[in-house]
Amino acid sequence: MGAGMTDAGEITVKGLDDEPTTGPSESEVEIPQAIGRYHILSLIGVGGMGRVYKGFDDVIERVVAIKTLHHQQPENDGDVDPLESFKFEAKALGRIYHPGIVNIYEYGTDGDDDFIALEYVEGSPVSYDASTPQFVRIQTILKFLDALDYAHQCGVVHRDLKPTNVLVTNLGEVKITDFGISVIEGALRDGDNKFFGTPQYMAPEQIRTKTVNVQTDVFSAGALAYFLLSGERPFDAATPREIVARVLNEEPTPLTGLSSDITDDLDAVIRCALAKNPAERYQSAADFARALEALNIERPARRGDKDQLQSRTFRDGEVIFEEGDAGGEAYIVDQGSVDIVKLADGQSFVIGTIGLKGMFGEMSLLDGVPRMASAVARGDVHLSVIKVEDLFDTLDGADHVLNSMLAALVSNLRTASDRLVYERSKNRFGNKN
């Protein structure tokens, strides 16, 4: 992850790609039995300065991640003291307690290693998946920005935001990791005047003048969002020199040209985060998030969503269906109320009234038996219509339909059993009398 810039402006960059630095494969590396009081389960990653293991805390009985730093660094480019850097990471994490940032449990030393015990994240680095709905991607970006903004509020600038340092759990939660080259407000560290980070995700002023601040993280966040939305890096090229040239001088390809589901507005939001001039960028991760939220990118409506259901209106007294009609549809009351009416001895009796959000007609919908009562509008009535052929599509993803239907069924069952009890007791008392 180290990089150096000579006085002549020559840039050399190590660990340029996003993949974890390649080291010996798991089978070649000797895995210790334990580090500190943690029982080691497996090797997760081999980084530039140490390894990351999956471990187990036998006392608390939980899985942990152990990030280690070997005291004898095989190669040290002299840019930075690795031990100081490692302790800085622990300090930065110690300042931040947020569900979107990996939590630190302990800093320790074991033989030739220093280690940090971290919350173990069951998941993988954030990646582009063409099948992920845009809404989900936006949610991931928003969760990431929320965590980043919190770190900034704690006075910590990450400085190396890129896909491998942002993990996504199996439940879709975001966890920012690797504060190894972060900067803490007011705390200078060895190497702060050095050039760190990954140029693909690095702000122009970070490359040019080694500036590191909230705005440089916002730029990296923009590059990460660009990647998440399109699968492409905004400033990609074959060599570090070309990448740097692109970051400094070129505009990224508009996202609208890379993915058909990206609107001009969304493209404009991401581009603002990627503005070359920091003054034109969002001034905070929260501002970036607000701009994204203002686009109102929501979960696409499924057939069962309310506004996807057909609606029908009836005037006061109008018959919605009659006893004996074929079923096949159920209804949810969106406005007004509906009387359920039964004919007996030439007279009609209102046996129930369905109010707002209530469902009726569901019995014939479910068992296909003709209507056992009539339904009559009371006042002006608006209904959502659920057709039998759409029933399962409708239920899928439409909680309000399912809720109304279950409520109607439960209420019918309760009424039926109350009636039963009433009839039985009436008969019993009737017999006695």
Ligand X SMILES: Nc1ncnc2c1ncn2[C@@H]1O[C@H](COP(=O)(O)OP(=O)(O)O)[C@@H](O)[C@H]1O
Only one of the segments 175-183, 285-293, 368-376, 381-389 lies at the binding site for Mg ion (rule: CB under 5 A); that segment is 175-183
Min separation Cβ 4 and ligand X, Å: 18
Residue in 113, 114, 160, 267 annotated catalytic:
160
Min separation Cβ 233 and ligand X, Å: 17
d(CA 138, CA 290): 12
* 179 vs 331 by CB, closer to Mg ion: 179
Q: Which of 165, 200, 206, 230 binds Mg ion (CB under 5 A)?
A: 165
Min separation Cβ 229 and ligand X, Å: 21
What single DSSP character describes residue 212? Answer: -
Only one of the segments 122-130, 163-171, 274-282, 379-387 lies at the binding site for Mg ion (rule: CB under 5 A); that segment is 163-171
Min separation Cβ 180 and Mg ion, Å: 7
* One-character DSSP codes across 235-279: T--SSHHHHHHHHHH-PPPPGGGT-TT--HHHHHHHHHHT-SSGG
Residue 160 annotated in active site: yes
**Residues 12-26: b if buried by 16+ CB within 10 A, e if exposed:** ebebeebebeeeeee
- Cβ contacts of 144 within 8 Å, gap of 6 or more: 100, 126, 166, 174, 176, 221, 224
Task: Give the pair of three-digit tokens for residue 200.
Answer: 């693909």
* 158 vs 281 by CB, closer to Mg ion: 158
113 binds, options Mg ion, ligand X, none, Cβ within 5 to 8 A by partner type: none
Where are the strands (E) in 2-50, listed by range? 3-5, 11-13, 34-35, 38-46
- Helix 134-153 to helix 214-230 angle (10° resolution) is 170
* 114 vs 178 by CB, closer to Mg ion: 178
Q: How many residues belong to the site for Mg ion (CB under 5 A)? A: 2
Where are the strands (E) in 179-250, listed by range? 183-184
Interacting residue ranges for ligand X, rule: CB under 6 A:
20, 44-45, 47-48, 52, 65, 67, 102, 118-121, 125, 164-165, 177-178, 180
- In the numeric block, the tokens 């340092």 are attached to 165
Using Cβ positions, the residue closest to ligand X within the complex turns out to be 47
* 168 vs 383 by CB, closer to ligand X: 168
Min separation Cβ 102 and ligand X, Å: 5
Q: 216's torsion region: left (phi>0), alpha (psi -120 to 50) or beta?
A: alpha
d(CA 138, CA 297): 8
**What three-state secondary structure class fits 221?**
helix
* 119 vs 393 by CB, closer to ligand X: 119
216 binds, options ligand X, Mg ion, none, Cβ within 5 to 8 A by partner type: none
Q: Confirm or reject binding of residue 178 to Mg ion (CB under 5 A).
A: yes
Residues annotated as part of the active site: 160
Provide the binding-site residues for Mg ion, judged by CB under 5 A.
165, 178
